[in-house]
DNA sequence: GTGTGTTCATACGCTAGGCGTATAGCAGTC
DNA sequence: GACTGCTATACGCCTAGCGTATGAACACAC
């Protein structure tokens, strides 16, 4: 089988097929004909001697082998791109960067960093998806993953961006109303994924106190907790970046200046590999710098 | 410039050109015509918009850009190979593995491991080059580099294979003749790259003694030192694997059973990257296992 | 200098591999 | 059952890359 296809082009169409779930749509995307796509997929399968996708008349689903190839194909295409753009004299970044970020950070703080990046690089497009749950990175086709807490995938390269400070806050009224009560009896507003019903605070000396609470309200959404807190319903553990303005304005008060919840690490995860497209590399750098400046090492 | 070249094929011929230093020879290697090679190189240069090689009528030398590409090209071709062979049902390894090993280890101990590997995988060829000096890994085109001591290139992936035990040995006669002398006054045979004129020995408790000597003989070749030692000229610090048989036969004697020179780490260095051809991956595993078994963690 | 041998680059058909168009077959939807 | 949208296959076309042949440049020998 002496085929003269460009192997990287085959990978390109394969990735496109995987992303669109259809040969026809891939063909439209790539500005070619559907039979061409069909032939290319067949050629790739012949070449690798493996079935990459199950075709029915109405959809295309990758086989496990196809899924495995998808990851490698994306990486190799990225590497080729890095090679091609290394010597392109216009150093203007371009293309799309796919980012997955946690909901809370992604819709407020981080999106400002991303916006700045887009301003700095007008030809760059960002696909900004907000998700808090663990993702199947390899299948998503995303370039970088911002994650609060540990990254549950040890095949990825992880860079720590910051460790965010979290403090106990409440409205002045709320705090005054419960001033005489011990900590554990406050009306706690707890954020599901982090606290559950167990609160752990420690002072700068490192000595910790741990106690269980029956939350006034529990939620998996930080904005809900925040709003309830503003309403004076109770006290909550919130990251400093989230309530910095309110602290300045006195709307919320640091209830226990000596006590802090454990810092939450914010990580940046990338697919492993030696070379990445410049736009991805630069975006990651920008995010890192931005975190250092905005969140600080003590943010 | 709508070219239909297979980009990976372009990289392949480019690497071949770099290795052979000639378009014509590359053409012969690849079983094609010289004009074809010429066109491919030109196409790659056009595509990347960079001059990769200076051609004179009698030789081809890579530009710095070409040298940079060479590294990436080798990596990408390796990755493609890994993809292709992942699903090849015959799990027989094949192809050539290029290894650079230290002279002493490479011509005796390690070559046995390599031999075993070739026996286990008949279709594998090994290009076994022995060099003690630091190499420009990226330019050499080698797959793995066995190195005594630290690997002076932090772009490489390093795996420690063993830490070899080194002891003071001499012939029984030689040791008897100098039995009354303090260590530092023995007729030392020193191995240049490691000892110089400064001997450092420590006991199992960790306390060390250091002294300078004026060597009876100094050399950068372990076999020379070894032969002189066998001749009874003096005492030498030699690795256990090197003189294990002689110790058993009583030809050489462990002069200071309580004292040992610092263990020398033996490392395996690889080009970074996520996927390597199976033969390389398996060879490295084999070497690691072999080292564990033959040299042991206390070898 | 001249000759010889080697190198790389270019010119010129040729050929075959990949393209698009057209069509067939199939599955789900209305 | 007609319709729609999908993938696979057949068929001719077209061109990109091939090999052959040739030319220019350089190295070395004499």
pLDDT digits (tens, 9 = 90+) for A173-220: 999 999 889 898 999 999 876 667 789 999 888 788 899 888 888 888
Q: Which of the four pLDDT bands, split at 50, 70 and 90, describes residue A25?
A: very high
| CATH 3.40.190.10 domain locations along chain B | 95-160+273-294
DSSP B182: -
The pLDDT value recorded for residue A28 is 95
CATH 3.40.190.290: which residues of chain B?
Answer: 163-264
Q: Is the CB of A63 under 7 A from strand D?
A: no
pLDDT at B194 over 70: no
Cα B134 to Cα A161, B107, B137, B151, distances in angstroms = 36, 18, 8, 8
Instruction: From chain A, pick out residues whose CB is under 8 angstroms from the CB of B7.
Output: 6-9, 80
A60-69, A261-270, B54-63: least confident range: B54-63
Whether the Cβ atoms of residue B83 and residue B277 lie closer than 8 Å to each other: no
- Tell me how far CA of residue A224 lies from CA of A214, A229, A252, in angstroms: 18, 8, 15
Name the more confident of B198 and B110: B110
Closest CA to A59 of A17, A87, A101: A17
Q: What does the radius of gyration of chain A's CA atoms come to, in whole angstroms?
A: 24
**Can you tell me the mean pLDDT for B160-173?**
94
Q: What is the pLDDT of residue A254?
A: 96
A299 falls in which pLDDT band (50, 70, 90)? Answer: very low
Q: What value does the mean pLDDT take over residues A93-110?
A: 90
* Range B141-164 average pLDDT: 92
pLDDT of residue A1: 64
In the structure encoding, which two tokens stand for residue B84, read together? 């292709």
CATH 1.10.10.10 in chain A, residues? 7-86
Q: How large is the greatest C-alpha to C-alpha distance in chain A, in angstroms?
A: 84
Q: Mean of the pLDDT values across residues B10-35? A: 95
Is the confidence at residue B252, as pLDDT, over 60?
yes
Q: Give tens-digit pLDDT for B212-246.
A: 888 888 888 888 899 999 999 999 999 998 999 99
CATH number corresponding to A7-86: 1.10.10.10
CB atoms within 10 A of CB A8: 21
More confidently predicted of A231 and B133: A231
- The whole-chain average pLDDT of chain B stands at 91
- CB-CB neighbors (< 8 A) of B9 in chain A: 7
Q: Which of B6, B50, B273 sits opposite A5 (nearest CB)?
A: B6
Residue A145 pLDDT greater than 80, yes or no: yes
Predicted local confidence at residue B193, as pLDDT: 63
User: Nearest residue (Cα to C1') for D4?
Assistant: A58
Contact B220, B191 (CB under 8 A): yes
**What are A's interface residues with B at a Cβ cutoff of 8 A?**
4-9, 47-50, 65, 68-69, 72, 75-76, 79-80, 82-84, 86-89, 272-275
- Does B299 score more than 60 pLDDT? no
For chain A, the average pLDDT equals 91
Among the listed residues B233, B234, B196, B197, the one whose alpha carbon sits nearest the alpha carbon of residue B212:
B197
Minimum CA–CA partner of B86 in chain A: A48
pLDDT score recorded for residue A187: 92
Which residues of A fall within a CB distance of 8 Å from B88?
49
Q: How far is A272 from chain B (nearest CA, A)?
A: 7
Is the CB of B75 less than 8 angstroms away from the CB of A80?
A: no
> Are the beta carbons of B10 and B48 closer than 8 angstroms?
no
Distance, in Å, from the CA atom of A224 to the CA atom of A229, rounded to the nearest integer, reads 8
Question: Which residues of B spanning 4-33 put their CB closer than 7 angstroms to strand C?
Answer: 4, 22-25
Q: Which residues of B touch A5 (CB under 8 A)?
A: 6
CATH architecture assigned to A95-161+265-294: 3-Layer(aba) Sandwich (3.40)
Q: In Å, how far are A17, A139, B83, B97, B106 from A44, measured between CA atoms?
A: 12, 19, 11, 27, 41
At B293 the pLDDT is: 85
Kindly report, residue by residue over A160-178, the tens digit of the pLDDT: 999 999 999 999 999 999 9
A25 touches strand D (CB under 7 A): yes
Q: To which H or E segment does residue A226 belong?
A: helix A222-230
Q: What is the mean pLDDT of residues A255-273?
A: 93
Share of chain A above pLDDT 90, in %: 69
Closest nucleotide to B37: CA versus each C1': C8
| B276, two tokens | 């390597």
At residue B108 the predicted structure's pLDDT band, cuts being 50, 70 and 90, is confident
**Beta strands at B157-170 and B260-270: parallel, antiparallel or unpaired:** antiparallel
Q: Which tokens is A96 given? A: 């799309």
Q: Compute the distance between CA of residue B47 and CA of residue B49 in angstroms, rounded to an integer.
A: 5
> In this predicted structure, what is the pLDDT of residue A195?
67
The per-residue pLDDT for B267 is 95
In the predicted model, what is the mean pLDDT of residues B162-186?
Answer: 92
What is A163-264's CATH number, 3.90.1720.10, 3.40.190.290, 3.40.30.10, 3.40.190.10? 3.40.190.290
Among residues of chain A, what percentage have pLDDT more than 70? 96
**More confidently predicted of B205 and B23:** B23
Which stretch of A77-91, A150-164, B111-125 has the lowest confidence by average pLDDT?
Answer: A77-91
What number is the average pLDDT over the span A94-120? 91
Q: Which CATH superfamily is domain B95-160+273-294 in?
A: Periplasmic binding protein-like II (3.40.190.10)
Residues of B near A (Cβ–Cβ under 8 Å) read: 4-9, 47-50, 65, 68-69, 72, 75-76, 79-80, 82-84, 86-89, 272-275
Task: Band the pLDDT of B1: cuts 50, 70, 90.
Answer: low
What per-residue confidence (pLDDT) applies to A298?
45
């Amino acid at each position: 089988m002496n085929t003269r296809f460009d192997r990287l082009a085959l990978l390109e169409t394969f990735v496109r097929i995987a992303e669109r779930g259809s040969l026809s749509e891939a063909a439209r995307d790539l500005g070619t004909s559907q039979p061409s796509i069909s032939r290319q997929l067949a050629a790739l399968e012949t070449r690798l001697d493996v079935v990459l996708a199950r075709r029915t008349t109405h959809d295309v689903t990758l086989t496990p082998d196809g899924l495995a190839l998808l990851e490698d194909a994306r990486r190799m295409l990225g590497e080729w791109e890095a090679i091609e753009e290394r010597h392109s004299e216009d150093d203007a970044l371009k293309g799309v960067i796919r980012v997955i970020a946690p909901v809370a950070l992604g819709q407020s703080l981080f999106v400002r960093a991303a916006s700045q990046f887009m301003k700095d690089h007008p030809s760059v497009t960002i696909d900004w998806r907000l998700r808090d749950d663990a993702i199947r990175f390899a299948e998503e086709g995303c370039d970088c993953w911002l994650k609060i807490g540990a990254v549950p995938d040890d095949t990825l390269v992880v860079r720590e961006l910051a460790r965010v400070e979290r403090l106990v806050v409440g409205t002045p009224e709320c705090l005054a109303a419960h001033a005489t009560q011990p900590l554990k009896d406050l009306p706690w507003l707890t954020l599901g994924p982090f606290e559950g019903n167990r609160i752990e605070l420690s002072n700068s000396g490192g000595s910790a106190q741990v106690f269980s609470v029956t939350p006034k309200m529990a939620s998996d959404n930080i904005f809900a907790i925040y709003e309830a807190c503003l309403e004076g319903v109770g006290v909550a553990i919130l990251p400093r970046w989230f309530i910095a303005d309110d602290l300045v304005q006195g709307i919320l008060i640091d209830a226990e200046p000596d006590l802090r919840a454990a810092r939450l690490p914010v990580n940046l995860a990338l697919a492993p590999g030696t070379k990445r497209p410049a736009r991805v590399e630069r975006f990651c750098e920008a995010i890192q710098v931005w975190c250092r400046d905005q969140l600080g090492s003590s943010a």
